[in-house]
Amino acid sequence: MAEDYKQKTVTFTPKEIDNLKPSPAIRESAATLSTTGRLLAYNQELKDSLNNGLYFTHLLDQLVQTGEPQTLFAAAQKLINYQLDNSYLVFPQQYSRADFYLIFLNRLLELHNSEQVILQSSDRNHELYHEFPGINTHGYFVFQLEKGSPDGAYYTEKNSGEILFYLNFRKNIVRFNSRSVVKLLLVDYLKELEPEAIKGFEVYLLNLGRYLKEDYGFDVDFNLLDPSNSAVYELANPQLPHSTIDQLFVMAANGGRMLKVGEDNEAILNLDKQTIVTLVDKSRSDHTAISEWIIRVNDGESRVAWFDILLQYQFIREWYLDNLADLEVRSDLLYFN
């Protein structure tokens, strides 16, 4: 789906003159033009190319320096599609499109005074990447471009290949990917890192989505990171086997917590005074025949997401990972499978 993320910052070497192919317009008219005419046409092409380059620098200035969110967005949108080189003028030193995505995110965070992630430059790979304090060398984050569309890219941890979210500048959407978020943060990182560091990274991801939503009206699917009380976490298998909930019941009891039953046969787990996890079969209230289990998390302040529960409570995490085939929170199938 995505282009090889190994794509380097494109560095062009000046081409030989005889490699330069005259544009069709010139070729066609070449025979009929006088020498002066041809020189003038050639000169015009150079001017256009220089102006094109100049406009690029103008956009890059905006990307790097503007304090206006809208200007920043417009510059990024144009830069990821920019055709800088042409047959008359080639710039040997360039940043890749994937790099512009990263730069944009850093600038966006900076405008919100929450630039938690560090934009690093890899000399070895000739590319930019994100490093997150606390995750440090365990995370090397880059964008992988979507195949066939310059406007979409996947935010990827390069070593593990885990794709955390998809971002598209034309459709104005962000889609988080529950499988990779869980695999990377709750399985891999939890073995090596403190929960606080993982929590910090989660907040960073959440902020990215929030700023894109607030500043540019993006449609953001936060998936299991959504802390809203109204968030509905849809399961990979909505016809959850009864025994899966039985398992949570037994595991909770072993941990000194009681899984209660509600009036609509929902399973209710009170985790502390304010935080309640509920498994609900929506078909009961919808009066449909086929069961459709979902998970909700309620905490009064809409600050706790399903992810936080999985991070904080080991027995729930074990239960979730043991039954991942049934319990995995569904991600947008258009972008993840």
Partner 1 sequence: MANIQDGVVQREHILATTELKKAVANKARYLQTLAAAIQEQDDRLVYQLIDGERYSKEIMQAKHGTSDERNEQLVADISDKLSQYLSGNLIAYLRETYPFFYFEQIGLGQFQFYFGNWWDRRLFGTLDILKVQFDFNQTEYKKLELAFQLEEQKKRLNSDKIAAISQQTDQLQALIDAQNSRDKEKEQVRLQLKKLAQDKVLPWEASKAKEAKQKLVERLSLLTDQDEKAQQAYKIIRESEEKVLALSKEDTLIGYEKQSIVAKFGSFANFTACNESLYRNYIADLIATKGRVKIDG
Query: What is the chain's alpha carbon radius of gyration, rounded to the nearest angstrom?
Result: 26
Question: In the bound complex, what is the minimum distance in angstroms from residue 242's beta carbon to partner 1?
Answer: 8
How far apart are the C-alpha atoms of 2 and 101, rounded to whole Å?
15
Q: Are strands 162-168 and 152-157 parallel, antiparallel or unpaired?
A: antiparallel
Closest CB to partner 1 among residues 46, 258: 258
Closest CB to partner 1 among residues 184, 259: 259
Provide the b/e sequence for 146-185 (b: ≥16 CB within 10 Å). Answer: beeeebbbbbbbbeeebbbbbbbbeebbbbbbbbbbbbbb
Question: In the bound complex, what is the minimum distance in angstroms from residue 262's beta carbon to partner 1?
Answer: 9
Closest CB to partner 1 among residues 214, 246: 246
Is 258 among the residues that bind partner 1 (CB under 8 A)?
yes
How far apart are the C-alpha atoms of 152 and 80, rounded to whole Å?
9
Binding range to partner 1, per CB under 8 A, among 110-118, 201-209, 257-265, 298-306: 257-265
Is 284 among the residues that bind partner 1 (CB under 8 A)?
no
Binding range to partner 1, per CB under 8 A, among 121-129, 219-227, 258-266, 307-315: 258-266
Is 260 among the residues that bind partner 1 (CB under 8 A)?
yes
**Nearest one of 9, 10, 2, 8 to 144, comparing CA atoms:** 2
330 DSSP assignment: P
Is 224 among the residues that bind partner 1 (CB under 8 A)?
no
Among 109, 259, 276, 310, binds partner 1 (CB under 8 A): 259
Is 264 among the residues that bind partner 1 (CB under 8 A)?
no
How far apart are the C-alpha atoms of 42 and 178, rounded to whole Å?
54
Is 243 among the residues that bind partner 1 (CB under 8 A)?
yes
Q: Which amino acid is at 133?
A: P
Is 294 among the residues that bind partner 1 (CB under 8 A)?
no
Is 317 among the residues that bind partner 1 (CB under 8 A)?
no
Q: Residues 131 to 190: which contact partner 1 by CB under 8 A?
A: none
Number of residues counted as binding partner 1 (CB under 8 A):
14
Is 267 among the residues that bind partner 1 (CB under 8 A)?
yes
Cβ atoms 259, 252 nearer than 8 A? yes
23 DSSP assignment: P
Is 255 among the residues that bind partner 1 (CB under 8 A)?
no
Tokens, residue 166: 């998809």
Question: In the bound complex, what is the minimum distance in angstroms from residue 270's beta carbon to partner 1?
Answer: 11
102 DSSP assignment: H
Closest CB to partner 1 among residues 133, 262: 262
Binding range to partner 1, per CB under 8 A, among 42-50, 58-66, 92-100, 241-249: 241-249
How far apart are the C-alpha atoms of 134 and 196, rounded to whole Å?
9
How far apart are the C-alpha atoms of 106 and 131, rounded to whole Å?
11
How far apart are the C-alpha atoms of 104 and 59, rounded to whole Å?
12
**Nearest one of 237, 221, 250, 213 to 293, comparing CA atoms:** 237
Cβ atoms 141, 155 nearer than 8 A? yes
Is 261 among the residues that bind partner 1 (CB under 8 A)?
yes
Binding range to partner 1, per CB under 8 A, among 86-94, 137-145, 232-240, 242-250: 242-250
Among 30, 253, 255, 300, binds partner 1 (CB under 8 A): 253
Cβ atoms 162, 180 nearer than 8 A? yes
Given the rule CB under 8 A, which residues bind partner 1? Answer: 242-243, 245-250, 253, 258-261, 267
